[in-house]
Structure 1
Amino acid sequence: MRKLALLAGLVAMGTVPAFAQTAPITFNARGLVAVSDADMAASAFIDGKLLRDNAVKDKLATIKFPLQRGGKTFESIIVSNSALTYSKSIAVPKNGGLAYVLDARVSPSDDVTEYKNTMQEFPEGQKLTVVDIVNLSAPKQKFAFAVGKNPTAIDINKNELMVATSEVGKELVFLEVNEDGKPTRLAHLPAQLDSTRIIDLSFHPNGNYLAVTLDQTKEVGLYRIVRDGAGKLKNIEMIGKPFKAGNNPATGKFSADGKHYFVLDTKGTVGKATGEGELMVIEFSLDGSAEHKVVSKTPVGLNPGAFAVNPEGTMIVTANVGKSAQPWTETNAGGGSSLTLLKVGADGAMTKVADYPVNGIMPQSVAFDKDGSNVAVAIYEYLDYGNRTGGIEFYSVAKGDTPALTKQPGRISVERGCHTIRVIP
C-alpha cells in the first residue's frame, strides 16, 4: 500500500515518466465519423475478386473522444456507401450534427464474386443518405434521396451542398438544406463541359467558387458561383478554361486562406500506378484576368489516395497506398503503405520532410485534429485472416521548423473497408 501511495504522489508531482501517463490514443476533437465499404477487399481494385462476406454490411461509425478503455469505443450503423470514389464520399458540417453520405456504387447481388474492372462494372448508385450524428454515441439514419447516377463527390459550404454525378443534365447538383438536413432547394447546374465527368469538387473557403477535377481530360477547372442580392445561388459560370494538371489529377483542397489549391496527381488508377505521385499547387485566377496554372509539384508516395492540410496551413500529410492493395499471393502484398509529411511555406511552396510507414492495407483518408497536434488515418483492412477489420491509426505531430510524425501505440478497429474519415472539432 505504501508503494501505491508513493506512486500516486509521484504522478501528482509529475515525476513519473511521460509514457506512464500517456493514453494509447490522443486526438484533440469531439469526434470522428468513418465510413466503411464492406462489398470488396482492397485487392479487388487490382484483380477484381471481391472476397466479400454477404453477411457483412457497409457501416458508418461515430467515435467520441476522449476514448475510455472498458467503455464502448464507437457506435456503428448500416449506411450504404462506396469506396469507388476519390475521397469525397461524405460531407460533415464544421460543427457536426449531420453526415451526408454518397452511395456512388451499390452492393452487387450476393452471387457476384468478381468483376473484370471493378471501377467500371460495379452497379451504379444514385443515393445521398443523411445521418443524425448529434449524439456520437447513437447515430441514426434519417432519410435518403436520389441525386443522380454514380455520384462521385460531395462538398459542403454552411447549409449548401454540391454533388457531382455522372448523369447527363445532373453533372452538378446543388442542394440547400435546413437544420434537419432536408433539402429546401435543389438545382441542376450546367457543367458547360463536353464528354468528360467531374470526379472531385471543392468549395472555396468564401463559398463563391468551386474547383473541379475532370476525369477523361485530366484537367482542373474553376467555376464562379453567381449569387443574388440575398446571397442565394443563382447559377455557376466557368472562369477561364480547364487546364491540364499532371498525369492523373484526383482529389483537391483549398488552403484555408483560399490563395492556393492543392491537387494530388496519382499518376494512375487506384493502386496501379508504378511511379511516385505528386502534390501540385495550383494558382487560380479568380477574376479571370490570367490563366490558371500549376506553380509547383512535390513528390509524395506511390499511389497517393488522399491528403490533409493542418489548421495553420503549414503542413500537409498524404496517405499513400503503395503496393499494399496487391493480391495476397503477390510478393510484398499488404506492405508499402506510407504517409508523406510536407512543409508548406506562406507562398504555397512545399518541401518534403519524410515518409513514414503505415501498418495496414490501402490508407485512403487522413485528417488532422482541431489544433493540428495529431493525425488520424483510415485503414481499409489489415493482412489478417479470420476476423477481417478495417481501422483508424493515429500519429502525433511535432511542430516547428523540423516537423515530424510519431506513431501512437493504439488503434480503433472498425468495419472492413474503412475509406473515408471526417473530424468533428
Structure 2
Amino acid sequence: MKGPILTAATLAISFGLAAPQSMQAAEDAQAASSILSRISASRIAVISDGDFLARTYGTAKLAPQKAGYRDLLTIMSPGSDKIVTGSIPISNSVTSAPEILALSEDGQTAFVTERLGERPEGGNSVSDLPPGRRLFAVDLSDGAALRLSDTVEIEAFPEALSLSPDGESVAVVSNTPEASFVQIVTYRNGRFGRLTRFDLADLEVRGSAPDPRGGVTATNVHWHPSGRFLAVNINTQNRVAFFEVTGADDAPMLRPWGNVVEVGADPFVGRFAPDGRHYLTANWGRNFAAKNLEGRIPQTPSTISVIRLADPAASPQSARHDLRGGAETDLSSEGIAISPDGRMVATVNMRGTAFPPGSARFHRNASVTLLSFDPATGAMTKLADYPFEGSLPEGGAFDDTGDHFLATVFQGHDSAGPEAGPGLEVFRVEKGDRPTLNRLGRVPLPHGAHHVDLAP
C-alpha cells in the first residue's frame, strides 16, 4: 500500500484536492459532482484493491508496483462541495465476494475485512499475498480525516461480513484450510469486543468431498432485518443455511433455523428482502472442477433464487423454508442489491470482462440486470440488461429512495478515457409499472473499486 494513489489529473477529478489540470478535467469534475448531488445518501463508501489488475485472474501477476495503486477506502458525501471528502489505506482483496464493506446506519463507521493480506515488498504474484486475518473499523466522524478506530484478528481468509441491524455486532465468514467459520464480534464505543467463533461443521453444515473442509465454502453472511437470524451461502454446495442467534450480545450462540435450502449453481452472494419474508441469492454458476479461467467461468447466464422464509414464530426444528423460483440475469453476476421498498432487484454482471482482450470470450461491456420483485409472493421478473463499458464490476447498491443505482467498476480498458475508467457507474431508476434504468455517467475513483455501500 505504498506509492502515489493517482495521477494529478485524476486527483483533480476524483478527490477535489488540487486545481483541475485542464478544461476537460474541470468539466469532468463538474459532471461527477452533478451526478453525486442527485444521490440520496449521507455518505457513500467505496473499497478499492490496488494489488490486482483485471487480467490477474488469468495471469496470476499483480499490478506493477510502479503503478502506485493502493488498497483504499474512499468516502464521498453527496452534499459536500468536494466529490471525495476523505480516503484511508485499508487492506482488502477483490478475490472475496463483494461483501467485505459495510457502513453503519448513521454513516459514522465503516467495517472492512481482507480475504488476502497486504502485499509484501517485492511481491509480484498472487501467491505472494498472505492470508487475510483482520477486520477493520474506520471512524468516519471527521469526513476529511478518516481514522482507523480498531482492528481485530479473525480466522484466515474472511470472505464476507454483515453488520447487525442494531449496529453493535459484525458477522464474518472465513474459510481456512481446515474449517469454515461464522464469527460474531461486538462493536461498541469505537472498539471491538468479544469475538465468538462457530465451526459450520458443528452447526450441521458438512461436506464429504475430497476437498478442503469437505467441499464446504461459505461466501456470504447476512443478518435478517429482525436481528434474530443469519443466512450463510455455501456456494460450493449450492445451498443456503439459516441460523438463529440467541444469547446475550457479548455471548451469542447459533443454532440451525429450519432446513438448509438448495438453490441455483454457485450462490455467491445473497440478501434478505427488507420486510424479512424472503432471501435472494445471486448464483454465478462457476465450474469449480475446472483448472483454468475459460473452464471455470460459465457461458450461460447467471440466475437468482428466491427463498420464502419460515414463520419466525415456528420452532427452529419445525421451521421450513421453501424455494419459490427466481429468474435468469446475465453472464457472470456477482453483486446483488434490493431496493429499499423491496420491489426492485439488481445484479452487477461481469460478462466477459475478466478475459484478456485477445480471448474469443472477451467483452468490453459489463452490465446491470434490473428485475421486478413482489415482496408478498416472491414472484420475480427480469426487466432488462443495461450494458456499460469497464472491467470486473462487482458490487452495487440502491440509494435511500431507490431512485438511483450505483455499480462499482474495477478498471477501464486500455483504450478507454477517464469517463470509462474505474469508478461508480450511476443510473437513474425510472419508476412505474415497468421500471427502467437511465445511465447518468461515471464518477471516477481509484483503480480497483469493487464494492460500494451507502448510509441514508
Normalised to the residue count of structure 2, the TM-score between the two structures is 0.81
**Partner Cα separation in structure 1 for residue 304 and residue 100 of structure 2:** 21
Equivalent position of 1:43 in the other structure = 55
Against the structure 1 CA distance between its residues 89 and 56, is the aligned structure 2 distance closer, same or farther, given a 3 Å change threshold? Answer: same
**Partner Cα separation in structure 2 for residue 308 and residue 217 of structure 1:** 23
**Partner Cα separation in structure 1 for residue 129 and residue 262 of structure 2:** 28
**Partner Cα separation in structure 1 for residue 83 and residue 338 of structure 2:** 30
**Partner Cα separation in structure 1 for residue 364 and residue 245 of structure 2:** 43
Matched-pair contact (CA < 8 Å) for 2:327–2:380: yes
Letter in 2 for 1:360: G
More helix by share: 2
1:381 aligned counterpart, secondary structure: coil
Deviation of 1:74 after TM superposition, in Å, equals 3.9
Equivalent position of 1:8 in the other structure = none
- Does residue 248 of the first structure (1) align with residue 255 of the second (2)? no
More strand by share: 1
**Partner Cα separation in structure 1 for residue 144 and residue 252 of structure 2:** 39
Matched-pair contact (CA < 8 Å) for 1:205–1:257: yes
Equivalent position of 2:102 in the other structure = 91
Equivalent position of 1:140 in the other structure = 147
**Partner Cα separation in structure 1 for residue 70 and residue 404 of structure 2:** 30
2:330 aligned counterpart, secondary structure: strand
Equivalent position of 2:341 in the other structure = 312
Against the structure 1 CA distance between its residues 67 and 299, is the aligned structure 2 distance closer, same or farther, given a 3 Å change threshold? Answer: farther
**Partner Cα separation in structure 1 for residue 353 and residue 84 of structure 2:** 27
Deviation of 1:311 after TM superposition, in Å, equals 0.7
Equivalent position of 1:166 in the other structure = 175
Matched-pair contact (CA < 8 Å) for 2:193–2:250: no
- Does residue 205 of the first structure (1) align with residue 225 of the second (2)? yes
Equivalent position of 1:380 in the other structure = 410
Deviation of 1:184 after TM superposition, in Å, equals 2.5
**Partner Cα separation in structure 1 for residue 389 and residue 282 of structure 2:** 22
Q: What's the C-alpha RMSD, in Å, of the aligned pairs? A: 2.5
5 Å-filtered alignment, 1:180-329, equals 180=190, 182-191=191-200, 192=203, 193-194=205-206, 195=213, 196-227=216-247, 233-268=251-286, 272-285=297-310, 286=312, 287=314, 288-289=317-318, 291-329=320-358
Matched-pair contact (CA < 8 Å) for 1:260–1:348: yes
Letter in 2 for 1:383: H
Against the structure 1 CA distance between its residues 235 and 342, is the aligned structure 2 distance closer, same or farther, given a 3 Å change threshold? Answer: same
1:171 aligned counterpart, secondary structure: strand
Aligned residues: 395
**Partner Cα separation in structure 1 for residue 382 and residue 83 of structure 2:** 38
**Partner Cα separation in structure 2 for residue 268 and residue 142 of structure 1:** 38
Question: What stretches of structure 1 of length at least 5 have no aligned partner?
Answer: 1-19
Against the structure 1 CA distance between its residues 216 and 278, is the aligned structure 2 distance closer, same or farther, given a 3 Å change threshold? Answer: closer
Matched-pair contact (CA < 8 Å) for 1:334–1:360: no
Matched-pair contact (CA < 8 Å) for 1:334–1:382: no
Matched-pair contact (CA < 8 Å) for 1:47–1:327: no
Against the structure 1 CA distance between its residues 284 and 46, is the aligned structure 2 distance closer, same or farther, given a 3 Å change threshold? Answer: farther
**Partner Cα separation in structure 2 for residue 263 and residue 233 of structure 1:** 29
Letter in 1 for 2:378: G
**Partner Cα separation in structure 2 for residue 73 and residue 183 of structure 1:** 27
CA distances 1:92-138 after superposition (whole Å, capped 9, x unpaired): 211111111101102343544345xx7xx853110111111123333
Matched-pair contact (CA < 8 Å) for 2:48–2:92: yes
| Aligned counterpart in structure 2 of residue 62 of structure 1, from 54, 60, 75 | 75
**Partner Cα separation in structure 2 for residue 198 and residue 332 of structure 1:** 28
Matched-pair contact (CA < 8 Å) for 2:393–2:450: yes
1:275 aligned counterpart, secondary structure: coil
5 Å-filtered alignment, 1:94-109, equals 94-109=105-120
Deviation of 1:351 after TM superposition, in Å, equals 0.6
1:207 aligned counterpart, secondary structure: coil
Letter in 1 for 2:303: E
**Partner Cα separation in structure 2 for residue 364 and residue 383 of structure 1:** 16
Matched-pair contact (CA < 8 Å) for 1:306–1:364: yes
Letter in 2 for 1:197: T
Deviation of 1:403 after TM superposition, in Å, equals 0.6
Equivalent position of 1:53 in the other structure = 65
- Does residue 399 of the first structure (1) align with residue 431 of the second (2)? yes
Equivalent position of 1:131 in the other structure = 138
**Partner Cα separation in structure 2 for residue 112 and residue 161 of structure 1:** 31
**Partner Cα separation in structure 1 for residue 417 and residue 327 of structure 2:** 38
**Partner Cα separation in structure 2 for residue 400 and residue 264 of structure 1:** 25
**Partner Cα separation in structure 2 for residue 387 and residue 143 of structure 1:** 38
Equivalent position of 2:370 in the other structure = 341
Against the structure 1 CA distance between its residues 301 and 362, is the aligned structure 2 distance closer, same or farther, given a 3 Å change threshold? Answer: same
- Does residue 156 of the first structure (1) align with residue 156 of the second (2)? no
**Partner Cα separation in structure 2 for residue 359 and residue 106 of structure 1:** 30
Letter in 1 for 2:444: S
